[in-house]
Amino acid sequence: MIPAQFDYLAPTSVADAVAALAEHGDDAKVLAGGQSLLPILRMRLNAPGVVIDLGRIPELQGVSEDGDHLVIGAMTTYAAVLASEAVTTHAALLSKAIATVADPQIRHRGTIGGALVHADPAGDVGAPALALGAELVIAGADGSTRTVAAEDFFEDLFATAVGEGELLTQIRIPKHTGWGAHYEKFVRVSHQWSIVGVAATVRSEGGSIAEARVGLTNMGSTPLRARSVEEALVGQPATDEAVRAAVASVTDGTNPPSDLNGDADYRKHLATVLTRRAVLAAAGA
Amino acid sequence: MTITEDRPADAPTPEIGKSRTRKEDQRLITGRTRWTDNIQLPGMLHLAMVRSPFAHATISAIDTSEAKGSSGVVAVFTGEDLKDIQGVNITAWPVSAEQKSPDHLPVAVSHVAHAGEIVAVVAARTAAEARDAAELVDVDYDELPAVLDLKEAAKDEVLAHPSLGTNTSATWQLDSAGQGSGGDIEEAIATAREGGILIEREYRQQRLIPAFMEPRSTVVDPTGEQVTMWSSTQVPHVLRFCIAATTGLPESKIRVIAPDVGGGFGGKLQTTPEEFATLAVARKLSKAVKYTETRSETMVSGHHGRDQWQKLTLAAEKDGRVTGLKVELMADLGAYAALVGGGVPVLGAWMFNSIYKFASYQFNLTNYYTNKTWVDAYRGAGRPEATYAIERLMDELAAEVGVDPLEIREKNWITHDEFPFTTVAGMTYDSGNYEAATAKAKELFGYDELRAEQKQRRESNDPVQLGIGISTFTEMCGLAPSRILGALNYGAGGWESASIRMLATGTVEVITGVSPHGQGHETAWSQIVADKLGVPFENVEVLHGDTQIAPKGMDTYGSRSLVVGAEAVVRAADKVIEKAKVVAAHLLEASVDDIEFSAGTFGVKGTDKGISMPEVALATWTGHNLPDGMEPSIDADATFDPDNFSFPHGTHLCAMEVDTETGASTMRKYVCVDDIGNIINPLIVEGQVHGGLVQGIAQALWEGAEYDDQGTLVTGSFVDYTLPTSADTISFITDHTYSPSTYNSLGTKGVGEAGCIASTPAVVNAIVDAVRSFGVNDILMPCTPERVWKAIQKGRSVPGEGERDAQPHFDEGVPNQDPGAAAEGSQA
Ligand SMILES: Cc1cc2nc3c(=O)[nH]c(=O)nc-3n(C[C@H](O)[C@H](O)[C@H](O)COP(=O)(O)OP(=O)(O)OC[C@H]3O[C@@H](n4cnc5c(N)ncnc54)[C@H](O)[C@@H]3O)c2cc1C
């Protein structure tokens, strides 16, 4: 399929990129890995006049450490995140979730920033970002930056706190060193988007769960955090029985879609089963 | 086992039976080859199609002015502009004389009957410009009510084609009492209702989309004496015929070339609106043009497969001996009668009875039109549907009788000493050995161990249950004896043609009328000819797929290429040898009767005198010293029309693990032992079996075309049409038994469709077997986790409800309705 014609810009700094965005307004679209944007352009669901490629901006690339935070550039590819030892050590949940995204080709192109801004509720990066309490750094047109908590970042289907003329530049993740983690993704074929996904990370102490964080994929119009489950898990032993009871409230406040892969009730049922499995796996049980 | 002949000790090892890697693979895998879309001609224009977004509408106006003014655009044509030359997409198989077939115009003129139908064509200097301009064509539609559901269509309340007055295309029946091949079905049912077993079920064959790897593409060059069309097709010869029959172009003015074609699975056994539209535009503009579809276009415009409701009544005695089978089939043709179209379900008519000895049988078919994409052949075409039904029913019968499903099959199948066997449907199966294939499969599978594990999981209430699915299938392929096709009202014959040219320098050209698109014919035919003529494998060139090079042929589908097409090659080779013998005898100064041909050498009996095949070919070419009056040629043609189909069979065993908490099914083990007679190239055969298995498994688990209430294809891309990849499959265990066909000299049977025909019921039987103890006896395909989980929930809450919901029992007052059946069917 052939997209409609557009002009192509490839700025080499965030400042230039933001300036270009300011100049072209809503006629411009930012290109990261292109794994969501290009299908949209090719199917002519959108036809921007200008495409601004972020691929040549070095400051948006790579993983670094900043005290008790990991800092991941928005243009870091899934493959690069997976290859990062810092991420595996301090934010294992993110690695585990990203390992389930699509297939190796897409993971070598798609970026963590693109995924977060695209904000598909079936995408696998939102739930772990939420569970890990990530902070998103956004650059504005006037050269300023602001930081938004993951909780406030996802606004709706395909809608985030990144406004017109803004760029997501960094993802800052509080280190969860020593936490067990598991991402339970439910699909029918391996390269599919999540029908339901559950991201769970757990700090164990003396055989029981000291702290837990749980994020849900595709259980509403945004990724969701299951706070009631997190609270119920504190102090529980990592046994099937205890965890089963603690996760019972996981579907509270969810509003999953109904489609060919399953209706909302089935998704709710899945979320309950998958959350138990994810927590038990994260706790090493 | 391979063909064995007495050979001298020093003869090279036979090519037949060798696992040769395919000679065509290097260029295909590297893409340095002639896919249609790779073809570039000087000054060639590119086309884009404007397609109807509506499932059913009349076209009130089309404004092309803005598109015509768009950059790079050369012309924009509507159906009205092309109507005198565009021809029509015909059906080759009106299944009855009364069949109603709406005209299928390549570019619609006033009425569209499915979403995706072409309403205008843009020709521009580049494909991008054509696409841009297509967006600017302004079409006014008056929407009409659309009929989308097959059962709704049967009511004739909303009509897919109001001008036909009905949605019924045709009806067709095969009745064993009527044709004298068996007893009366109603009697068998009545007897079973009294004191035997009656199994009544309704199964759904969901709609599938043939997902060939290479999208369809057509290039037409109208500038020569002949109009040349390159197209990504399985059927260049059929295409040429259909163009000549409907466009006014003389057949002799048309050359059709199928260059390398990247898969078809029946999806390119079609003559398409796109091909006809491309031809019409090229002729209008007197310029070469190319059209290559996008995947999204394939999904809505390339024909779909399957789509049936099957109402089935199986009669048996109390001990499980089958007595009768009645089939009432509703088939959805989509918007038009496609090339084979209405005939596809007819091909299943002889296969519902399968390998079992029914005494009476009746097959009733009604074909309907709906406002959806047209339906035609898809790998197996008619036989997978039939095999699914009977293999599911045999499991249900076993459950009813309370015995192992293999036991019920054994009780009813044709034993190996009963061949040749004429079935209740009237087909004569020439050879087979169901006992041998089953014994081998059981052993490879570890049948008894898996049954023991299943029992243990059931007893311990394991959240993951194990099920074992069986499919002891047969099929009829190698289409087809021309007389039978004639009797069935099919528009063409089923013969195949071959020529062999013995070149002066010792190499050989083999021309075959079949048209491979990924099967590896070039390799297999080379192996056969190398053995036959005693020339090296490398010295054989196989030519095909061009009506100028291979003028006669019926092309490739229905697992026919080897059993019909290669048999023609064998017969041409025999003629070459006979002609060459005369030359050899002359050169060796011996009597023709004393000449023996072996391993490429003509020898004189009882002497060490001899002359090689290439030497004879050279001598023939120079013509210097030939017998008086002999025509200086040892080349030969042959046309082969088989007397019967070939009947491959096999035993497929599948173990599925079902996670009862989520409904997810995971394949644990898959064993198949196929009997396809003698094997030319085991590697190619294994590839065919693997690919076929995955396609059949995909029907059971993953694939299904779904429409919304507006008639829009919801599964319009691979995001929603969930094709599996290798990551979703396991390693299969494949093996063979060998019962050679008696209808061709190589003893081969077709293998192209076998895996796809056999595997679907094996998988669904396994899933149902895993959850039968919850009161489930059917799950609609694809067996999504949601469907499996819901069936378990229903079955659990009300014993017997699981199946009732998933698979509705027959309505009150409908023939064959057995009020007791629902209760009978709900056994644990
Ligand atoms: C076949 C296939 C299967 C897939 N399966 C999965 C899956 O299983 N799970 C999953 O999570 N995802 C899946 N994806 C999506 C994939 O993860 C995408 O890569 C991701 O959603 C978008 O990342 P990208 O870098 O490609 O962004 P792009 O496609 O380039 O951009 C996406 C959107 O974000 C905007 N954008 C990108 N970067 C920025 C930025 N820094 N600031 C502001 N706006 C920005 C773009 O303008 C665009 O609107 C799949 C994709 C494909 C093609």
Q: Where are the domains of chain A?
A: 7-53, 61-174, 180-282
Distance (angstroms) between ligand 1 centre and the Cα of B724 equals 22
Whether complex ipTM tops 0.95? yes
How confident is the model over B373-380, as a mean pLDDT? 98
> Residue B161 contacts by C-beta under 8 Å, 6 or more apart in sequence?
B102, B111, B113, B167, B335, B369
For residue B770, the model assigns a pLDDT of: 98
Distances (CA, A) of B306 to A84, B150, B169: 48, 12, 16
The chain B residue lying nearest A102, using CA atoms, is B719
pLDDT at A255: 98
Nearest to B662 among A1, A260, A273 (CB): A273
pLDDT-derived band at B349, boundaries 50, 70, 90: very high
pLDDT at B11: 63
Helix axes B785-797, A264-282, angle to 10 degrees: 100
The CATH number, out of the four listed (3.40.1160.10, 3.30.365.10, 1.10.10.10, 1.20.1630.10), of the domain defined by the range B492-640: 3.30.365.10
Q: In B417-446, which ranges are continuous DSSP H helix?
A: 434-445
Give the span between the Cα atoms of A137 and A168, in whole angstroms: 6
User: How many CB atoms are closer than 10 A to CB A164?
Assistant: 10
A251 ligand 1 Cβ < 6 A: no
Domain B430-477+647-801 fold: Aldehyde Oxidoreductase; domain 4 (3.30.365)
Touching check for B701 and chain A: CB below 8 Å? yes
Lowest average pLDDT, out of A68-77, B28-37, B123-132, B334-343, goes to: B28-37
High-pLDDT (> 90) share of chain B, %? 93
Q: Residue B294 and residue A190: Cβ atoms within 8 Å?
A: no
**pLDDT, tens only, B539-569:** 999 999 999 999 999 999 999 999 999 999 9
Fold (topology level) of A61-174: 3.30.465
Asked whether the predicted pLDDT for residue B393 surpasses 70, the reply is yes
C-alpha B494/C-alpha B760 separation (Å) is: 28
The pLDDT, as a whole number, for residue A285 is: 83
pLDDT tens sequence across B592-607? 999 999 999 999 999 9
Indicate if the pLDDT at residue B280 is higher than 90.
yes
Check residue B158 and give its pLDDT: 98
Nearest CA to ligand 1 atom 10: A123
**Is B128 an interface residue toward A (CB < 8 Å)?**
yes
Q: How many CB atoms lie within 10 A of CB A129?
A: 28
pLDDT in tens, B759-785: 999 999 999 999 999 999 999 999 999
The pLDDT-based confidence of B828 (bands split at 50, 70, 90) is very low
Q: What is the pLDDT of residue A108?
A: 98
pLDDT in tens, B53-83: 999 999 999 999 999 999 999 999 999 999 9
User: Best residue in B462, B786, B790 to probe A by mutation, most A CBs within 10 Å?
Assistant: B786
Q: Over range B173-180, report the average pLDDT.
A: 98
Which pLDDT tens digit goes with each residue over B489-518?
A: 999 999 999 999 999 999 999 999 999 999
Name chain B contacts of A103, Cβ cutoff 8 Å: 725, 727
Q: For B625-654, how does the pLDDT look when each residue is reduced to its tens digit (9 = 90+)? A: 999 999 999 999 999 999 999 999 999 999
pLDDT confidence tier of residue B814, bands split at 50, 70 and 90: very low
In Å, how far is A139's CA from the nearest CA of chain B?
A: 33
- Give pLDDT tens digits for B10-20: 667 999 999 99
Q: What confidence category does residue B8 fall into, taking pLDDT thresholds of 50, 70 and 90?
A: low
| CB contact (8 A) between residue B785 and residue A262 | yes
- Cβ within 8 Å, pair B132-A263: no
DSSP lists the bridge partners of residue B330 as B309, B366
What is residue B823's predicted lDDT score, i.e. its pLDDT?
34
Q: How far apart are CA B438 and CA B447, in angstroms?
A: 11
Residue B265: predicted pLDDT: 97
Residue B508 is predicted with a pLDDT of: 98
Do residue B785 and residue A4 have CB atoms under 8 angstroms apart? no
CATH 3.30.43.10 fits A7-53, yes or no: yes
Per-residue pLDDT tens over the stretch A153-205: 999 999 999 999 999 999 999 999 999 999 999 999 999 999 999 999 999 99
Averaged pLDDT of chain B: 94
Per residue in B668-679, pLDDT (tens digit) is 999 999 999 999
Q: How far is the CA of A259 from the centre of ligand 1 (A)?
A: 21
Residue nearest to atom 46 of ligand 1 (CA): A30
Residue B802 has pLDDT above 50, yes or no: no
Strand boundaries in B681-783, DSSP class E? 733-737
User: Could you tell me which residues are beta bridge partners of residue B501?
Assistant: B509
Nearest CA to ligand 1 atom 27: A114
What pLDDT is recorded for position B798?
Answer: 62
Count Cβ–Cβ pairs < 8 Å, chain A vs chain B. Answer: 56
Residues ≥6 apart with Cβ < 8 Å to B124: B45, B46, B47, B48, B70, B72, B73, B74, B130, B133
Instruction: Identify the CATH homologous superfamily for domain A180-282.
Output: CO dehydrogenase flavoprotein, C-terminal domain (3.30.390.50)
The residue-averaged pLDDT of B422-428 equals 98
Tokens at A267, concatenated: 């998704």
Residue A16 CA to ligand 1 center (angstroms) comes to: 22
The three-class DSSP label of residue B500 is strand
Please give the pLDDT value at position A240: 97
Q: Whose CA is nearest to atom 33 of ligand 1?
A: A118
- Answer whether residue B314 shows pLDDT above 80: yes
Secondary-structure percent of chain A, ordered helix, strand, coil, rounded to 5: 35, 25, 40
Question: Nearest CB to B714: which of A4, A193, A260?
Answer: A260
Answer yes or no: is pLDDT of B813 > 50. Answer: no
Nearest by CB to B785, from A2, A44, A188: name it.
A188
**Cα B175 from Cα B36, distance rounded (Å):** 46
Prior bond of A15 cis (ω within 30°): no
Confidence band of A207 (pLDDT split at 50, 70, 90): confident
Ligand 1 pocket check for A41: Cβ under 6 Å: no
Output the pLDDT for position B51: 98
Mean pLDDT of B19-45: 94
Contact between chains at B723 and A263 (C-beta distance less than 8 A):
no
CA–CA gap between residue B760 and residue B389 (Å, rounded): 10
Percent of chain B predicted with pLDDT > 70: 95
CATH 3.30.365.10 domain residues, chain B: 430-477+647-801, 492-640
Ligand 1 within 6 A of CB of A33: yes
DSSP A84-105: -HHHHHH-HHHHHHHTTSS-HH
DSSP per-residue string spanning B148-196: --HHHHHHTSS-SSGGGSSSEEEEEEEEHHHHTSSB-HHHHHHHHHHHS
**Least-confidence region, from A9-13, B10-14, B307-311, B454-458:** B10-14
Nearest to A2 among B131, B702, B725 (CB): B131
Q: Could you give the count of Cα atoms lying within 13 Å of B652 in the half-sphere of its Cβ?
A: 31
When pLDDT is cut at 50, 70 and 90, the band that residue A234 belongs to is very high
User: What integer pLDDT is reported at residue B32 of this predicted model?
Assistant: 86
pLDDT above 50 for B809: no
